Structure 1
Amino acid sequence: MEERTCLKDLFIGKTDGAVESKEDNFQELFYDPFNKYKELMSGKEKFLVLGFKGTGKTYLAKYVEAMAKRGQYVNIVGENDFILCKLNVMSQEKLDEELANALCKWFLLDRLARLVIESRPIRAKWIPFSKTYSLNKFLKYFESDDIFKQVKMIAESTKEMKTQCETSLDKNKKNRKYSILGTKNKGEKYSVENVRKEFFELIQPLEQKVFKAIGKRDSYTIIVDDLDEIKNNEESVGRDEVIINMLKVAREYNLKKMPIDLKYVILLRTEILDDLQVKYSNLNKTITSCSVELYWLFDSTYSEPYNHPLMSMILHKIKKKSQKYSNYSNKELYELLFPESIDNKKPLDYLLDYGFGRPRDFVTFLDCAQKMCPDQGCFNAHVMKEARKKYSPCFYEELLNQSAYYGNPEFVTQCLQLLSSVKKASFTHAYFEAIYNEGKDNYPCIKSVDDALKFLYKIGAIGNSWKVLQGNGIKKTHFGWAYKKDAMNDVDLSKRFTIHYGLRKKFSM
């Protein structure tokens, strides 16, 4: 008798792409229905990867890294690398607009230089006359004509006749100083100090050294992730300016004709770039010609649920990890594991309603189902309903996490608390305002009901709903969500609002 397979035995993927990339057969597990890997790597002009949080940007970056062959070097860097680089090269914490561009250029060159050194460790450490060795010395602040400069000469009248030479090095080994005291003429004293140049004065020599160190047959790709995690500083240029300048510098190098094979890739959340377009008018041409977008919500183009890219992704992973199901067709496996409707909804539609149309939502929901009912043999209606209890709090926490970009966590939390007080899945502006006025003292960060509704719509916590009369005389309800391409970017305050299904269990609805 064939052994029964339980849900706990199925591999449906990991919520974190970086974690899944550690799987032994990651390259087989990787699912790319729209050929985004090929689009990204087809040329240097495609360097910006866009997608909402959880759509697979880091996952794609890990695949690029995994696919690197001999002579191809890939490094993924994040906000921590940028912060450490900033602390290492800047003598002051304040970052103005002019320094922002220079710092981004230095950061990208520095990451490239370190990757070159890492790829050629013997030359970098043991062959003094190699270009990689020279580059390694440069980064370690060895004495060099490029690194030091004369900063001042002071002449004053004195009767002393002496010559003295002093060398000092600060505790961070960053500002080595040579002070020379002596006399030019009798009765005249002078002082000359040589100190290390500022990082922006060293950009050109660093660029020259790193480009010379790259072999003609080698290929280097630097992928920058998690820029949205950089914290804003009220007293200096903020995260938005850093992101904009990082895009400018990456575009400059990618589109510049060079004798070396070099590519910079920037991963960025779609909603962040949408916000930045309001501030920087020239962004649109970069988005149009240089971006690769990750978007999975093409509902109407798939007649069969098992062919929808998100459901097909789940089935693909199960088949790649389970020998038992490896030869099943998508149709056979779907009908076996998703045998029935849930609340008169097809399993695919049910899963789409409970998320934002991202791979992470599907994986998280089905992972919750596995944990709630590990010994069940399929994702039946009972299992899917049980999964909501565990999934809804996870969805809520994910919403809080992705809203951190907008700052003011108190405002975010209070908006969601106000929404939870509604206790109705569908409501009007007037009803929401009444709930707000009733407990206004509990929401000191919310200055306007309209602001709260606009924000809740922007993060996907609510959507617009309206009825449209069909040809048969029956009214059909339509929905608009900010995360869907076919919806308005801004909320319509005159229409009704509906609370996202993923939050309803958390809000006891």
Structure 2
Amino acid sequence: MNELTPISQISFGTTDGKNEARNPNFESLFYDGGGYYRKLKEDPLKFLVIGRKGTGKTILVRYFQKILLKERNVCSKFIVAGDFTNEKLNNFDYMKVREEEREIFWRYVILKELASLVLKNESGFLNKKHISQLRNVDSDITLNLEQLIQENNESLGGSVDLKNTSIEAKESIKNISTYATGKYFNKIGELTESLMNVMKKAKKRYFLFFDDLDEIKLGSIQSNDGESSVIVLAKLLNDFVTALAYVNDKLLDIDSGSRIISTLRKDVAEQMQFYGNNINKIITDNGINITWFSTLIKSNPQQSDLGKLIIHKIKASVEEYKSIDDKKLFDIIFVRPRKKSNPFKFIVERGFGRPRDVIKYLDIVQDTFLDERRISYSMVRQVQSEYCSWFYSELRNEINILENSKSIVKTIDLIKKNGKVIFNYDGLTARRKLDEQEFTDIIDLKMDLKSLFILGAIGNHKKLKNNNPIIEYSYRDGANNPDFSNNFVVHQALRNYLSIGE
């Protein structure tokens, strides 16, 4: 190899999994260092892909779908649930109907999508009778949601508010013919039975994928008094996951080889634990938990899965680099100056140990230094501020889902005003008292610091006698609770954004 390729020619990927999946080289760029694809492919019990934002949930399920479609007799559909459910939820007084009705609603959503996919792709004399029956049931059950709500209200005794229903819809409701069963629940059962009868005989396998569940517009859902958006979302997704488990159990019972798969944000999954008796069991038994944590991130990030991911993408992008030893190629691309940190380690330290952070940083480097052929320490330092602004926006997105989000943001303002990279709880409390009127929105400082610790925005800092401190971050060291007897340290990227030190 005589000449290096400009770094602008390397495809590190994008921060949005949907966009990365559109890359013509998506399959060659995909890296399965953690074996998550293998688990999803080989274990029919796995139907939840769980992980923090930016860990690659969407990329994993998109890759799985792409490989599936290469097989014969496989049909699939990818559903961005935020877009898919908004119209329905706008008309469904979700939080006012009984809990069992809400799960039935989600069964309806899932079964209808699966039935539509099956009817579109199934034919054949042997299955003709069951297909005809399924088509009749599917047509019969296709009600608009005003009708669905009305039947729920009459047959299940739910409390439903139809005061905002249009005059035309109300007239339509009056003319509904009563089902022989008299209950929407039984009609869902009939749809399930008819669908499974078809799928027992079907030669094809069917896969539905739900993604971006956390992007459902909660403003369209009327919450109970005093409930925050995170509580509403946790309850809603609790119902969805319970219904998802129900449908997947039915598919397993008939040995169909089909599955309904969904992504789920880790922080949302943790909130869901408070609102469902069996949800932890489902998440544990049926979930794949994506994490990129490695002790190598501290000392040798190039040997961690994140480092291997980037080397994989570099080799997949440049033909001439494929034959070069990984370590040698890493040292060629990431130039380490004397007495300075490796530029890749510098990048990793300013993220949360996620692919999204590293890829965004490298994208900024590429856009700034188009003609450069290597990535230096000086280059990554020059673009640090631009990256850290993006990092804070990402952090705010994760904070917004928390019940104490407004208080947390104000606590970040307090940390900025405190002006110290390393601080303790008592010192921050004293600083708050100096400007008490400015920080009245802080409801519980201890709770806010715990939330920021779990997010990784701050870590624990313990100074030892040899002056070599132990620094512990939740995303890196697996800790779930901060030690308030020790100091706290502000994350590298956040301290840069807040201008409180290097």
Specify the TM-score bucket, using the shorter chain as the normaliser: 0.7 to 0.9
SS, match of residue 310 in structure 2: helix
Residue 80 in structure 1 maps to residue 71 in structure 2: no
Give CA-to-partner distance per residue, 1:86-125, whole Å, 9 cap, x none: 446x4777343222221121121122122223435999xx
Residue 362 in structure 1 maps to residue 344 in structure 2: no
- 1:226: which partner in 2? 212
- 2:232: which partner in 1? 238
Measure, in 1, the Cα distance between the counterparts of 2:335 and 2:255. 57
Distance 1:458 1:306, change over 3 A: closer
Taking the TM superposition and a 5 Å limit, the aligned residue runs for 1:405-484 are 405-407=401-403, 409-469=405-465, 474-484=466-476
- 1:401: which partner in 2? 397
User: Hey, which of these two has a bigger chunk of strand by percent?
Assistant: 1
| Count of equivalent residues | 467
> Which is further off, 330-339 or 199-208?
199-208
SS, match of residue 265 in structure 1: strand
- 2:303: which partner in 1? 307
The answer on whether the counterparts of 1:426 and 1:499 sit within 8 Å (CA) in structure 2 is yes
| Larger RCO (CA under 8 A, 6+ residues apart) | 2
- 1:189: which partner in 2? none
Residue 97 in structure 1 maps to residue 85 in structure 2: no
1:437 positional shift: 2.0
The unaligned stretches of length 5 or more in structure 2 are 155-165, 226-230
1:278 positional shift: 4.6
- 1:205: which partner in 2? 190
Aligned AA for 1:253? V
1:220 positional shift: 1.4
SS, match of residue 484 in structure 2: coil
Aligned AA for 2:121? S
Measure, in 2, the Cα distance between the counterparts of 1:174 and 1:209. 31
Aligned AA for 1:194? S
Larger radius of gyration: 1
Give CA-to-partner distance per residue, 1:240-299, whole Å, 9 cap, x none: 222222222222333341253331223222233233335545444333332211111112
SS, match of residue 245 in structure 2: helix
1:374 positional shift: 2.5
> Which is further off, 456-465 or 368-377?
368-377
1:503 positional shift: 1.1
Taking the TM superposition and a 5 Å limit, the aligned residue runs for 1:88-237 are 90=92, 94-120=96-122, 130-131=132-133, 133-134=135-136, 137-138=139-140, 140=142, 171-172=168-169, 175=172, 177-178=174-175, 194-195=177-178, 199-214=184-199, 215-230=201-216, 231=218, 233-235=222-224
Measure, in 2, the Cα distance between the counterparts of 1:442 and 1:218. 63
The answer on whether the counterparts of 2:51 and 2:290 sit within 8 Å (CA) in structure 1 is yes
Measure, in 2, the Cα distance between the counterparts of 1:87 and 1:209. 29
1:34 positional shift: 2.0
The unaligned stretches of length 5 or more in structure 1 are 153-168, 179-192
User: Hey, which of these two has a bigger chunk of helix by percent?
Assistant: 2
Distance 1:373 1:174, change over 3 A: farther
The answer on whether the counterparts of 2:48 and 2:283 sit within 8 Å (CA) in structure 1 is yes
Taking the TM superposition and a 5 Å limit, the aligned residue runs for 1:269-348 are 269-280=265-276, 282-300=278-296, 305-341=301-337, 344-348=340-344
Aligned AA for 2:189? Q
The answer on whether the counterparts of 1:50 and 1:267 sit within 8 Å (CA) in structure 2 is yes
Measure, in 2, the Cα distance between the counterparts of 1:413 and 1:301. 28
1:194 positional shift: 2.9
- 2:162: which partner in 1? none
> Which is further off, 57-66 or 265-274?
265-274
The answer on whether the counterparts of 2:207 and 2:261 sit within 8 Å (CA) in structure 1 is yes
Aligned AA for 1:478? I
> Which is further off, 216-225 or 492-501?
216-225
Aligned AA for 2:42? S
Measure, in 2, the Cα distance between the counterparts of 1:135 and 1:355. 51
Measure, in 1, the Cα distance between the counterparts of 2:90 and 2:445. 41
- Under a length normalisation based on structure 1, what TM-score does the superposition of the two structures give? 0.81
The answer on whether the counterparts of 1:46 and 1:291 sit within 8 Å (CA) in structure 2 is yes
- 1:505: which partner in 2? 496
- 2:376: which partner in 1? 380
Aligned AA for 2:55? T
Aligned AA for 1:271? D
Measure, in 2, the Cα distance between the counterparts of 1:44 and 1:241. 26
The answer on whether the counterparts of 1:106 and 1:200 sit within 8 Å (CA) in structure 2 is no
Residue 255 in structure 1 maps to residue 249 in structure 2: yes
SS, match of residue 261 in structure 1: coil
Measure, in 1, the Cα distance between the counterparts of 2:134 and 2:395. 46
SS, match of residue 375 in structure 1: coil
Measure, in 2, the Cα distance between the counterparts of 1:452 and 1:293. 25
**How big is the alpha-carbon RMSD for the aligned residues of Structure 1 and Structure 2?**
3.5
The answer on whether the counterparts of 1:219 and 1:262 sit within 8 Å (CA) in structure 2 is yes
- 1:30: which partner in 2? 30
Measure, in 2, the Cα distance between the counterparts of 1:6 and 1:326. 16
The answer on whether the counterparts of 2:462 and 2:487 sit within 8 Å (CA) in structure 1 is yes
Aligned AA for 1:476? N
Measure, in 2, the Cα distance between the counterparts of 1:342 and 1:172. 74
- Under a length normalisation based on structure 2, what TM-score does the superposition of the two structures give? 0.82
- 1:489: which partner in 2? 480
